Amino acid sequence: MLKVSNISKSYENVQALNDISFDLRKGELFGLIGPDGSGKTSLFRILATLLLSDKGQVLFEGRDIVQDYRYVRNNVGYMPGRFSLYQDLTVRENLEFFATIFNTSFEKNKHLIEDIFKQLEPFQSRKAGDLSGGMKQKLALSCALIHKPTVLLLDEPTTGVDAISRKEFWQMLQRLKEEGMSILVSTPYMDESKLCDRIALIQEGKLMGVDKPSEIVASFDKCVYQIKGEQLYNLLSKLRSMEDIESAYPFGSSLHVYAATGLDLKSNIESLFPEVNVQVDVIEPDIEDTFMNLMTSKDG
Amino acid sequence: MAKAITAHNLTKKFGSFIATNAITFDVDQGEVFGFLGANGAGKTTAIKMLTGLSIPSSGEATVAGLDVYKKPEQIKRRIGYMSQKFSLYEDMTVIENISFYGGIYGLKRNEIKERGQLSVNNLGMAEVKNQKVASLPLGWKQKLAFAVATLHKPSVVFLDEPTGGVDPITRRQFWEMIYQAAEEGITVFVTTHYMDEAEYCNRISIMVDGIMVACDSPETLKKQHQVSSIEEVFIKIARGSE
């Protein structure tokens, strides 16, 4: 659907995007995973034909998006990261407005957003500015879908959204995907990447890898030791001072240590710090481990 | 132990809508207290009442021993506050932001200089101290904002989604700053949508539709609900609130 080749973009002295290439396949849910400031928004704006790249080319269904920008705009739905609906229009008015812009009507295309609209319906005469965060996201998604696009571009749709609304939002994306929609979605939440068919990790304008989540994780080249016990925060600086340990980070209620395979970490900790009582397990890395490891190995 | 925050039946109504409904809890000095809830559950309203920005409809609360009805101005001087949305002046440099906030909180000129220098060094920002904040990556801004919010050694610091959108390594560095502040005796009152971060708190509370439905240590809550993570606790408790 989308073929992105060697896209670069700079602003004054900042290189926002550095030689980005990947493709979005039909019916695929593709995740762009990276922190704020990594270049995700610049890429979305280029794909939505709102910004020109310095180098490279993007093809949408085989057409150059710069030449054929009108075709792109009619067939791509874009949900920007910042809430950009009309706050002083009601839910219903926003939907009608966006439908009209694309020469269609809300009534005609209502079936496209039926699932999501069901949840919005009780609030349809409420002003968009008075909706809760989760509802705003649902409305923004509805507005991006109302002209029946074939590709959906979602820039951080779940940032600042609570854990439950995030879950519901991703369930909606799964349903859209099953209906054949191709979706490019960006997120700073590493856990959401598991829900994508393929992901690209992006950091400082560069792609660090494009693959299935399971393949990305399989590229992790060290061993993850999970440490549980008491006084973990105090243990952290001790661990970092140990020779064989590459890095150590808190992970919820445990610590994760990255080091070579086959280390008897428990005995090492106990011999160096006899007062510490811990449980050590070797676990499978997840996306967050992999991402952090890629970030640090790039620096070093 | 002295209580940094106490709240008893604290309530805020907007017309017929009850945003915060009779919440009762307290926070110890030096505690890291997580304040969780879905969007629209009433967290921001509660924080506004505790920071002296909004007068409660009913109930009682003290912050740093000061009554929220009688001493809101004194409360503002004894607390620090940062949010994801606004914390620093983008067109001022790192050092100018530090001096500006230090001045607002009534620090003496030599205190601002000393503590500012110390902060800049601790943050590893000595090289960028004369750069405008706008040019810094988000993670750096958030760490600087935290340093600025605690420069005057407040008794309580309120952090409203301080790590939203921040990369996973910086997020963890940020929490190390939180622990450091807590060790120095600063009480940390923090909201987050990252459920792994909730595990780092001494205690957490969960708000649903204006009501505080849970308030305990992460371990106890997980045991009570027989699950292995706070994310599962949160989903069990807060589901269907919208």
Pairs of CB atoms within 8 A across A/B: 98
ipTM, 2 dp: 0.77
Those residues of chain A that have pLDDT short of 50 are 299-300
Task: Please report the DSSP string for B45-83 in residue order.
Answer: HHHHHHTTSS--SEEEEEETTEETTT-HHHHHHHEEEEE
- pLDDT for res A83: 78
- pLDDT for res A229: 84
* Cβ-contact A183, A177 below 8 angstroms: yes
* Interchain CB contact of B65 with A (< 8 Å): no
The torsion angle over the Cα atoms of residues B42, B44, B47 and B51, rounded to 10 degrees, is -140
- pLDDT for res B39: 79
- What's the gap in Å between the CA of B238 and the closest CA on chain A? 8
- pLDDT for res B79: 96
Q: Is A271 exposed, middle or buried (0-12, 13-18, 19+ CB in 10 A)?
A: exposed
What value does the mean pLDDT of chain B take?
Answer: 92
Is B172's CB within 8 Å of A167's CB? no
Is B168's CB within 8 Å of A288's CB? yes
- pLDDT for res B85: 72
- What's the gap in Å between the CA of A169 and the closest CA on chain B? 14
- The Cα A186–Cα A199 span in angstroms is 9
Q: What is the distance in angstroms between the CA of the first residue and the CA of the last residue of chain B?
A: 38
Helix (H) or strand (E) segment spanning residue A290: helix A287-299
Phi, psi values for residue A15, rounded to 5°: -90, 105
- How confident is residue B242, by pLDDT bands cut at 50, 70 and 90? very low
State pLDDT tens for residues B20-76. 999 999 999 999 999 999 878 889 899 999 999 999 999 999 999 999 999 999 999
- pLDDT for res A300: 37
Determine the residue among B14, B17, B36, B39 to mutate to test chain A binding: the one whose Cβ has the most chain A Cβ atoms within 10 Å: B39
Tokens 């080319």, located at residue: A57
Cα–chain center distance at A180? 20
- How confident is residue B174, by pLDDT bands cut at 50, 70 and 90? very high
Phi, psi values for residue A4, rounded to 5°: -100, 120
Q: Is A255 exposed, middle or buried (0-12, 13-18, 19+ CB in 10 A)?
A: buried
- pLDDT for res A79: 94
